[in-house]
Structure 1
Amino acid sequence: MIFFSSPLFYFCVAQMENYTYNSLILQLEGLRITKTNKHPVFLFLLLTYVFILIANVGIVFLIWTERSLHQPMYLLFCNLSVNDVMGNSLLVPLLAYIHVPPSERFIHYYECVMQAFTSHMYGTNAHTVLMIMAFDRYVAICNPLQYATIMTGKMVIKLTVSAWGVAFVLVGILLGLTIRLNRCRTLIMNPYCDNPSLFKLSCDSVFINNVYGFTFTVVLLSSSIGSIILTYSKITAACLTNKSKSLNSKALKTCSTHLCLYLIMLLSGTIPIILHRFLQYTEYRKISAILFYIVPGSLNPIIYGLQSQEIHRCLSNILQLRKK
């Protein structure tokens, strides 16, 4: 993100919001950070981002370079790691830059729109990618004999394109409805730009935006939760009818990992949505909105890496080769 280097100029521009419409300079409300805790906050954001970057890029590189990990389960997980890197690279360095030390925080409107688009892509992708990962686990456990014929390389590509394509279209419409609006305000009531904060700048009717936004959320959550419930119900039924201990053990490990990732993402994303409806909890909403990026991005590679014996084996082989 490119911020302008003359805060005084943009402060003067911001003061003219009552007299002009469609100002291209917006101001972020940000977090309430005091002088005493600005350095710990900056250090926390910096270290968190470095860890997220190293952990997710590292696991993608490991899967890409190790032939034994060229399996649909791991290849689909790479989408989640790429999404975590994309979302956190957009948000965390920006937060560290503009919030520490506390100052006037200005951003160009077009940069704000791109930031909102990417942030909603991150959240939507998290759902769609975990949905295709659930489909992979369903096929592997409920149809093990047909797994190789169903989950081919082409199928992995189709599922990946579908997950990202659906998210792109849904979010594109969401932001398209917002950028058509005229703006009569310049203050973003959030530490970063998102769609609700953008259309709240408008004095036009936002009825269509609210309807589509509500429909978007309901369709995404119902599809996501519904697919997880359906696939895991069938997986549970398959495990109960099959007396193979090895199959049940494999299902428990892989499915518990996937379900844990899903629950973390769902909980992290639901809390900010709920707090958006309660104005008295504004600061808590801001913090929870930031944690929606940080928590899954940090925990996803750890949980997936700890539960995968194949990843353990590859890492141990690499470490042993380095010792030699």
Structure 2
Amino acid sequence: MSKNASYMDLLTLVPLGISATHIYPVFLLATLTYLIIVFCNLCVLSTIAVSKNLHKPMFMLLFNLPISDMLGTTAFFPHLLYSIVTQNRVISHSACITQAFLMHFYGTGNLLILSAMAYDRYIAICCPLRYNAIMSPKKVIIIIFLIWFINFSMMVTLILLLTRFKICRTNIVDLYCNNPSLTKLICEDTRINNYYGLFTIVLIQGGPLSIIAYTYAQILRTCVMTNHPDARKKAFQTCGTHLVVFLIFQINAAFTLITHRFQSASPYIRRVLGISILLFPPFLDPIIYGLKTTELKRSLVMFLKRNICSSKL
């Protein structure tokens, strides 16, 4: 018989499987990873915020990526660290719902931000004379607002569809809470949830992929036709960096969501892919953009030198 979530407030996540001798080394490694991710993303955020030469459409859009990355990692790591030390995988239903919302909010946000950045590069390379008119500060603010509004609206709807049900199980099949694993706790008809889930997958995965495919096809065409080797090299460098970040995230997210819909899919592969979404993009994004984007790299070095020198005074 189904019970209301208030009567089944405690849920159990999949065990971490860490032996007693490895608890503290794993805890230190996970803590260090989280701190590095937060530090690197904060460096990118701070550098863009204080460097006037970076107050351009491309970097205004990039500014949102570290915010999204830190939301995702912060939704995951603190509870993971607690679980490692206590070996307790229990989580409250309300905390699980919150974590699931933040996880999906992070994933959707990243794909939308990367799509907007691809559009910016397309305009900059294919329509350079119209760039300032198309990507004016006002229009960039509108794009950023739409990214977060669409993301928030879709994820709130996803969670509201989930919370209207009573749950009859308490074992989460993943290492963290997400919509598919929470849906599996319900014993009622969840067809509407499944249809909406498929709709969001098609829209959030397919939409950005279509934008990336079109914009990069146009960028490649323009780069091949240009007679300026330096401009071509710069375009390939900038776009190549962006494409690597996008593909890492897109492939991981797609496989993680798809494996939830096939009973024959290995739960271990799904969990590894699920962790990689929360680990690699937030860790690699600031490093890749910081090292490969010349303007950001210079400003980042200056920002760090300035703060190191001021701390010594």
TM-score by length of 2: 0.92
In structure 1, distance between residues paired with 2:20 and 2:127: 59
**How does 1:1-324 map onto structure 2 within 5 Å?**
20-22=3-5, 23-103=8-88, 105-276=89-260, 277-278=262-263, 281-318=266-303
In structure 2, distance between residues paired with 1:247 and 1:195: 44
Amino acid at match of 2:100: A
Residues 1:248 and 1:29: Cα distance change in structure 2 (over 3 Å): same
Instruction: Indicate conservation of the 8 Å contact 1:31/1:286, yes or no.
Output: no
Q: After the TM superposition, which of the residue ranges 291-300 and 210-219 deviates more from structure 2?
A: 210-219
Residues 1:275 and 1:43: Cα distance change in structure 2 (over 3 Å): farther
In structure 1, distance between residues paired with 2:22 and 2:171: 24
Residues 1:186 and 1:239: Cα distance change in structure 2 (over 3 Å): same
Percent identity, please.
Answer: 36
Secondary structure of the 1:36 match is helix
| Alpha-carbon offset, residue 116 of structure 1 | 0.8
In structure 2, distance between residues paired with 1:198 and 1:145: 50
Amino acid at match of 2:43: G
TM-score by length of 1: 0.89
Secondary structure of the 2:11 match is strand
Instruction: Indicate conservation of the 8 Å contact 2:3/2:167, yes or no.
Output: no
Amino acid at match of 2:276: L
Deviations 1:199-257 (A, max 9, x none): 11111011111111112111211111111000001111111222122321221111011
| Alpha-carbon offset, residue 28 of structure 1 | 2.0
In structure 1, distance between residues paired with 2:282 and 2:62: 12
Instruction: Indicate conservation of the 8 Å contact 2:2/2:166, yes or no.
Output: no
Count of aligned positions:
306
| Alpha-carbon offset, residue 319 of structure 1 | 5.7
In structure 1, distance between residues paired with 2:270 and 2:23: 19
Q: After the TM superposition, which of the residue ranges 287-296 and 79-88 deviates more from structure 2?
A: 287-296
Deviations 1:34-93 (A, max 9, x none): 223222321221111000000001111011001111111111111111100111011112
In structure 1, distance between residues paired with 2:303 and 2:186: 55
Secondary structure of the 1:100 match is helix
| Alpha-carbon offset, residue 323 of structure 1 | 5.8
Instruction: Indicate conservation of the 8 Å contact 1:31/1:283, yes or no.
Output: no
Structure 1 unmatched runs, 5+:
1-17
Deviations 1:245-285 (A, max 9, x none): 23212211110111011011112213322433255622332
Residues 1:307 and 1:204: Cα distance change in structure 2 (over 3 Å): same
In structure 2, distance between residues paired with 1:143 and 1:20: 58
Residues 1:280 and 1:158: Cα distance change in structure 2 (over 3 Å): closer
In structure 2, distance between residues paired with 1:112 and 1:160: 28
| Alpha-carbon offset, residue 20 of structure 1 | 4.3
Residues 1:270 and 1:108: Cα distance change in structure 2 (over 3 Å): same
Structure 2 unmatched runs, 5+:
none
Deviations 1:84-119 (A, max 9, x none): 01110111121111233423x222222211111111
